[in-house]
Structure 1
Amino acid sequence: MNMPAVRRKGFFRKVLQRIKSWSRWLKAAEPGFHVLTPIALPLFGYPLLEKLTDISTKMQIQLAQRILKFREPLVFASIPSYAETVLKLPHRGLIYYYSDKYTSYDDISAQDALARRDRMLFEAADVVFCASEMITDSLKEKRKEVHYLPHAVDFQRFHVALQADDPEPADIAAIPHPRIGYYGSIADNNDKEMILHAATQNPDLQFVMIGKVFGDYTHLKALPNIHFLGFKPYAEIPYYGRHFDVGFMSWKSTDWIRHCSPLKAKEYFSLGLPVVSIPIHELEKYHADLVYFASSPEEFLAQIEKALTEDSPEMHQKRIKRMSQESWDIRSSEMLNILKSAQESR
């Protein structure tokens, strides 16, 4: 949603990533599912450039629609960036999905321009869904059709990996147990002090970190029981995660995190893993019986040790069973039924 700042660390890497994604443009991700990456720069806050970007993006979407023979599609918008483009395209229905509290992102420039586009989608959508209850509560007084619909999980993907008889990947096989695992972006929003304290106070714990590193993790990399395995394609993640003993989320407690619906926890649960996390409303209200909460480095270590001690085959199955009811097949049916009802009532 934002143009990376030239002076910010990682600027050129982000630019190269953007160019690489543009080169794919329209790609068949799997049968019946295509991904379009419009060639566009997020230059928000500059009216003329915004207009040119909207025109270019609209033309690219229309071309993709002709190639794929789409007519008046059902539009699912999950970020406000290209609201003007979306609203000018013929469509038979518009869903606006708040996957996060966008105004809490700390690296977004031109907040006013994005806030205006957010309002456009919010007012024009047939129905608005929110991934977290806190976001829902902040919006439901502004219009009728606002519904709480938490993130679903690709349960089948993780369940298949859990049942697989494949050998451990070589890089994780070399790491002894107990393995305290995390995958995702390894950035400055992670609370490094929590990990550092746990790793130094209990050297038997082996922390496994999977993902691209965007911050300074020099101190953690120097420890023999913290292992950085680098980026892994999403398809491989379940085959690594199944070999964790505990999954953790030690993010800093920002406004964005407090309002989030942590999909990662559901993926951990789908693998049967106990989860140690900072307090997050969604987890505290709906999955408190499956999560060990920690607000400080000392609590983080104590809860990891408790999770390892209390884990059992019964809890393993309980976590998996609950996530079997949180799949996208179930969630998408709920979404379409609510949309149909909203359109019929108009």
Structure 2
Amino acid sequence: MTRAGADDGGLDLEGWEGLVVLASGNSWDDTWLSDKHLALHLSTTTPVLFVDPAMSVLTPLRKPALRRGRAPRLRRIAPGLVRLTPVTVPGITRPVLREVGEWVTRRAIARAVRRLGGEPRALIVGSLDDVFDACPTAVKILYGTDDWSAGADILGLSAASLRRREARQLGKADLAVAVSDVIADRWAAPGRVIEIIPNGCDTERFAAVDTAVPAADVTLPAPIAGFIGHLSERIDLTMLEAVADTGASLLLVGPRQLTFDLDRVGALLERPNVQWVGAQPFESLPSYLRQISVGLTPYTDSEFNRASHPLKTLEYLAAGRPAVVSDLPSTRRIPPGLVDIASSPAQFAELTLRALRAEPDRDAAARRAAYAQRQSWASRAADFAALIERRSSGSAR
């Protein structure tokens, strides 16, 4: 058995043939998003190297949750799944230093691939980082989890710069996978292959919500309307305020963007019928959803959100919960009757109150859960694996 050096923690290097490299736009230790779910489920059938975005040596000082990612840089985190954390210089959001970070990432991927035993079957890139040339591979896939250029204001970057980087990525990729029709339509061009694979759901975890131990720190009286997610500029705060105005119990679970409308968010959190429990580990979310009678997805009607495919709505449905959601294109993909769609704050509050007052409906809960089950991350990973197989074998058109 071959063993690697000190920077990979004695990783067993056998059995990594047919590797898929997934260069993520989010750290493994950050919020659970599409890239992480895909890597976990894809690794059950094919070995996966998950690559964090290049991390500055100073990043853990700002994000303590990422301190564990500093060493070892290459390590196995599950059977068939290894993680690589490139470490680079501070200031990587600046153009020149960003290019240094991308060079560091390409070099780290190439070195990790050599250690793991040869040419990968596929390189999936879930960001605008220039890493497609890191190593030879049978197929290069751009994974569009968000409309990056539409999120220029959220990211604090130039829209023109993001569009140029996006065009470069599309030019280097053999094909692109988008999570929504909106992204696919915008990327469409003669000769360019665009596949649509929507976000999925960890159905096994959320199907067990009603047997989970209820979160002990929730103090609101039932029934409770709940939002699980990031309190950020993507959220329609007016919709949450309208729900709170009804007097209904409102539970907020997730991190808070400190630059997001401080006065209004602070005032909302001070209301007696509103409780915010902060960021919680993904593994603990079923305990909080156990306390929630109605799930809320209050997104603003922005260009960025119109291209999104919210994971939280599927998680509510997997738990059998009624869901009140903003009117977005991704919402219209869900069969009629499974969610309540609101186009205004007043309607959002009205539908939430109606759902809270309704008698439990086991048949409706079963229909919601059955739909979510068909949208599982296991199914999405199988779609990716089939796509890779077709492209790498040369049989795709």
**TM-score, normalization: structure 1?**
0.85
Q: Alignment partner of 2:87: what SS? A: coil
Correspondence for 2:361:
312
Q: Deviations over 1:233-256 (max 9, x none)?
A: 011112211321000011221111
| 1:44-83 matches, cutoff 5 A | 46-47=95-96, 49-69=97-117, 71-81=119-129, 83=130
Provide the residue aligned with 1:181 in structure 2: 226
CA distance in 1 between counterparts of 2:381 and 2:293 reads: 31
User: Please, which runs of 5 or more residues in structure 1 have no aligned partner?
Assistant: 3-11
- Provide the rounded CA distance (Å) in 2 between the counterparts of 1:206 and 1:300: 15
Match of 1:89 among 104, 120, 135: 135
| Structure 1 position 140, deviation (Å) | 2.6
Contact 2:268–2:274 (8 Å) recurs in 1: yes
Q: Distance in 1 between matches of 2:308 and 2:359?
A: 27
Aligned match for 1:20, one of 57, 67, 72: 67
Q: Counterpart in 1 of 2:214?
A: 168
Question: Matched residue of 1:332: which SS?
Answer: helix
Of 149, 152, 156, 2:200 maps to 152
Q: Which of the pair is proportionally richer in helix?
A: 1
Answering whether residue 144 of structure 2 is matched by residue 98 of structure 1, we say yes
Structure-to-structure mapping, 1:143-292, within 5 angstroms = 143-159=191-207, 161-162=208-209, 164=211, 166-172=212-218, 174-200=219-245, 202-203=246-247, 205-214=248-257, 215=260, 216=262, 217-292=265-340
Partner of 1:139: 187
CA RMSD of aligned residues (A): 2.6
Cα deviations by residue, 1:209-256 (Å, 9 ceiling, x for unpaired): 011222322111211110011111011112211321000011221111
Given the superposition, is the C-alpha separation of residues 207 and 50 from structure 1 closer, same or farther in structure 2, using an over 3 Å criterion? Answer: closer
Partners in 2 of 1:147 and 1:314 — Cα distance? 34
Letter of the structure 2 residue corresponding to residue 256 of structure 1: F
CA distance change for structure 1 residues 255 and 334 in 2, over 3 Å: closer, same or farther? same
Q: 1:238 to 1:226 in 2, by over 3 A?
A: same
2:389 is matched with: 340
Alignment of 1:120-131 (within 5 A): 120-131=168-179
CA positional deviation for 1:22: 4.8
Distance 1:287 1:325 in 2: 12
Residues 127 and 339 in structure 1, CA contact (< 8 A), matched pair in contact too: no
Give the distance between the partners of 1:197 and 1:345, measured in 2 at CA. Answer: 50
Distance 1:78 1:42, change over 3 A: farther
Higher alpha-carbon deviation: 54-63 or 241-250: 54-63
Note the C-alpha offset of 1:344.
2.1
Distance 1:57 1:175 in 2: 46
- Code of the aligned partner of 1:206: S
CA contact (8 A) 1:45 1:113 kept: no
Change (3 A) 1:67 1:233: farther
Compute the displacement of 1:163 (Å).
Answer: 5.5
Displacement, 1:265?
A: 0.6
- Tell whether the 8 Å contact from 1:73 to 1:90 is kept in structure 2 after alignment: no
Say if 1:61 and 1:143 are closer, same or farther in 2 by CA, change over 3 A.
same
CA contact (8 A) 1:44 1:50 kept: yes
Unmatched 5+ residue regions in structure 2?
A: 1-24, 27-57
Compute the TM-score of the two structures, normalised by the length of structure 2. Answer: 0.75
Task: Provide the secondary structure at the position in 1 that maps to 2:308.
Answer: coil
Measure the CA separation in 2 of the matches of 1:99 and 1:208.
27
SS at match of 2:330: helix
Identity of aligned residues (%): 23
Post-superposition Cα deviations, 1:19-55, rounded to whole Å, max 9, x if no partner, equal 63652543433222223232235735634x3443232
- What amino acid is the match of 1:333? A
